[in-house]
Structure 1
Amino acid sequence: MSSNDKLPQLAAALRFSVLAYAMAYGVSAHAASEAVELNTLSVQSSVIGTSEEKDVAKYPGNRTVLSQEQLKKTAATSIDGALQHVPGVKVQDETGTGVLPNVSVRGLSGSRSERAQFLMDGVPLTLAPYGHTGQSVFPATFNTLDRIDVVRGGAAVQYGPNNVGGVINLVTKPIPNQWETQISNRISAYEDSDNLMNNLYLRSGGWLSDDFGIQFSANTLNGDSYREHSDTDVTNFDIKADWLISDSQELQAFIQRYNSDMEMPGALSPTAYEADRQQSQRLNDDYEATATRWHVKYLQDLDWGNSAQLEVLTFGHHDTRNFVWGFNTAGGHWADPAQPSTDIRNSPREFNVYGVEPKLSMSFGSQDTLTQNLILGMRYVYEDVDYRLRQTNINTGAVTVPRDWGLKTDAVAAYVSDELGFMNGRLKVTPGVRFESIHMNFEDRNSGATDSNQINEVLPGITAAYNVTDEWVAYANAQKSLRAPQIAQVRGAGDEEGEVSWNYELGARFTKGQSSFNAALFQVDYKDQLQWQSATQTFANIGETRHQGIELSGRYATQNVPGLSLGLAYTYLDATSEAEGPNKGNELPYASKHQVSWDATYDFSGYLSTLSGFYYSDAYSDNANTVEEDATGATGKIPSYMVWNFNVSKELYQQNNTTLSVDFSVNNLLDEEYYFRGVDTSPVGRYPGLGRSYNVTANLTF
Structure 2
Amino acid sequence: MNNINRMGLGVKKSLLYTCIVLSPVVPAFADIASIEKMLVIGSVEGARSLPGSGAVISSEQLRTEVTTDINQALKTVPGIYILEEDGLGLRPNIGIRGATSERSGKITLMEDGVLIAPAPYSNPEAYYFPTALRMSLFEVLKGAPLLRHGPQTTGGIVNMLSTPIPEEMSGSVLVTADQRGSSDIHAYFGGQTGDWRFLLETVQRNGEGFKDIDRSSQNPGYDISDYVFKLGWSGERQSVLLKLQSSDEISNETYLGLSDKDFNEDPNRRYGLSSIDEMDNDHQALNLSHVFKWSDTVTSTATVYRNDFARNWFKLSGGGDIVRAANEGGALEQAILDGSAEKDGLNYTNNNRKYISEGVQLNFDIEAGAHQFAVGLRRHHDEMDRFQVVDTYKQESNGDLVFQSRSSDTGQVSGSNNREEEADALSFWLTDSWQVSDALNINLALRYEDIESSRLEYSDTARTTFATDKNRQNDTAIWLPGVSFSFDVNDQIQLLAGVHKGFSPLGGGAKVSQDPEESKNWEAGVRFNNDHIFVETIAFYSDITDTTENCSVAAPCSNGDTSGSFALGESAVSGLELQVSAEAAIGAFQIPLDAAFTYTKAEITKDNAVSGFESGDKRKDVPGRVFSLRAGFEHQSGWNNYIVAKYIDEMCSVAGCNRTGDSYEETEELFVMDFISRYQLSQDVEIFLKTENIFDQQKIVSRNPDGARPNRPRTTLVGIQYDF
TM over 0.5: yes
The residue that corresponds to 1:226 in the other structure is 210
Q: Cα 1:184–1:578, aligned 2, differ >3 Å: closer, same or farther?
A: same
2:263 partner SS: helix
Q: Which amino acid is the alignment partner of residue 302 of structure 1?
A: W
The residue that corresponds to 2:607 in the other structure is 580
Q: Paired residue for 1:643, among 653, 672, 695?
A: 672
Q: Deviations over 1:346-376 (max 9, x none)?
A: 21111112100111111112xxxxx111111
Q: Cα 1:626–1:267, aligned 2, differ >3 Å: closer, same or farther?
A: farther
1:112 partner SS: helix
- Say whether the 8 Å CA contact 2:259–2:323 is kept in structure 1: no
Moved more, 377-386 or 145-154: 145-154
Question: Alpha-carbon deviation of 1:538?
Answer: 8.6
Q: Deviations over 1:471-526 (max 9, x none)?
A: 33221121112211123x325xx342222122211112233457422111111222
The residue that corresponds to 1:374 in the other structure is 373
CA distance in 2, matches of 1:422, 1:90: 35
The residue that corresponds to 1:469 in the other structure is 490
- Say whether the 8 Å CA contact 2:701–2:709 is kept in structure 1: yes
Q: Paired residue for 2:226, among 232, 236, 252?
A: 236
Residue pairs, 1:81-480, within 5 angstroms:
81-106=72-97, 108-138=99-129, 140-189=130-179, 195-209=180-194, 211-228=195-212, 229-244=219-234, 246-265=235-254, 266-281=256-271, 282-303=274-295, 307-328=297-318, 338=334, 339-340=336-337, 342-365=346-369, 371-395=370-394, 396-399=404-407, 401=413, 402-403=415-416, 404-424=418-438, 426-446=439-459, 448=466, 449-480=470-501
Q: Which amino acid is the alignment partner of residue 285 of structure 2?
A: R
Give unpaired runs (5+ residues) of structure 2: 213-218, 327-332, 338-342, 395-403, 460-464, 550-556
Question: Alpha-carbon deviation of 1:5?
Answer: 5.3
1:155 partner SS: helix
CA distance in 2, matches of 1:32, 1:180: 17
CA distance in 1, matches of 2:178, 2:660: 36
Q: Which amino acid is the alignment partner of residue 393 of structure 1?
A: T
Q: Which amino acid is the alignment partner of residue 522 of structure 1?
A: F
Question: Alpha-carbon deviation of 1:176?
Answer: 1.1
Q: Paired residue for 1:694, among 716, 720, 724?
A: 716
1:202 partner SS: strand
- Say whether the 8 Å CA contact 1:542–1:579 is kept in structure 2: no
Q: Cα 1:672–1:584, aligned 2, differ >3 Å: closer, same or farther?
A: same
Q: Deviations over 1:252-306 (max 9, x none)?
A: 1211001111011541111221222211013243212111011111001112xx6
The residue that corresponds to 2:546 in the other structure is 528
Q: Which amino acid is the alignment partner of residue 638 of structure 1?
A: T
The residue that corresponds to 1:613 in the other structure is 645
- Say whether the 8 Å CA contact 1:618–1:639 is kept in structure 2: yes
Runs (4+) of structure 1 exceeding 6 A deviation are 333-337, 532-535, 627-630
Question: Alpha-carbon deviation of 1:450?
Answer: 2.6
The reply to whether residue 14 of structure 1 matches residue 28 of structure 2 is no
- Say whether the 8 Å CA contact 2:672–2:693 is kept in structure 1: yes
Q: Which amino acid is the alignment partner of residue 5 of structure 2?
A: S
Q: Deviations over 1:13-66 (max 9, x none)?
A: 2222222223x847x79646449xxxxxxxxx98834x3223213211111111
The residue that corresponds to 2:340 in the other structure is none
CA distance in 2, matches of 1:458, 1:693: 48
- Say whether the 8 Å CA contact 2:67–2:133 is kept in structure 1: no
CA distance in 2, matches of 1:385, 1:560: 57
Q: Deviations over 1:233-269 (max 9, x none)?
A: 111111122210x311011121100111101154111
- Say whether the 8 Å CA contact 1:107–1:573 is kept in structure 2: no
The residue that corresponds to 1:40 in the other structure is none
- Say whether the 8 Å CA contact 1:501–1:524 is kept in structure 2: yes
Give unpaired runs (5+ residues) of structure 1: 36-44, 190-194, 366-370
- Sequence identity of aligned pairs in percent? 19
Q: Cα 1:423–1:329, aligned 2, differ >3 Å: closer, same or farther?
A: closer
- Say whether the 8 Å CA contact 2:500–2:522 is kept in structure 1: yes
Q: Cα 1:137–1:34, aligned 2, differ >3 Å: closer, same or farther?
A: closer
2:360 partner SS: strand
Residue pairs, 1:467-616, within 5 angstroms:
467-487=488-508, 489-491=509-511, 494-513=512-531, 515-530=533-548, 541-558=567-584, 562-581=589-608, 582-604=613-635, 605-616=637-648
- Say whether the 8 Å CA contact 1:74–1:599 is kept in structure 2: no
Higher normalized helix content (fraction of residues): 2
Question: Alpha-carbon deviation of 1:333?
Answer: 6.3
CA distance in 1, matches of 2:453, 2:6: 17
Q: Cα 1:29–1:230, aligned 2, differ >3 Å: closer, same or farther?
A: closer
- Say whether the 8 Å CA contact 2:38–2:161 is kept in structure 1: no
Quote the RMSD (CA, aligned, Å): 2.7
Q: Cα 1:361–1:667, aligned 2, differ >3 Å: closer, same or farther?
A: same
The residue that corresponds to 1:42 in the other structure is none
CA distance in 1, matches of 2:498, 2:320: 53
**TM-score for the superposition, normalised by structure 1:** 0.88
Q: Cα 1:514–1:6, aligned 2, differ >3 Å: closer, same or farther?
A: farther
Question: Alpha-carbon deviation of 1:629?
Answer: 8.5
Q: Deviations over 1:435-467 (max 9, x none)?
A: 111112321122615332211111111121112
**TM-score for the superposition, normalised by structure 2:** 0.86
- Say whether the 8 Å CA contact 2:39–2:161 is kept in structure 1: no
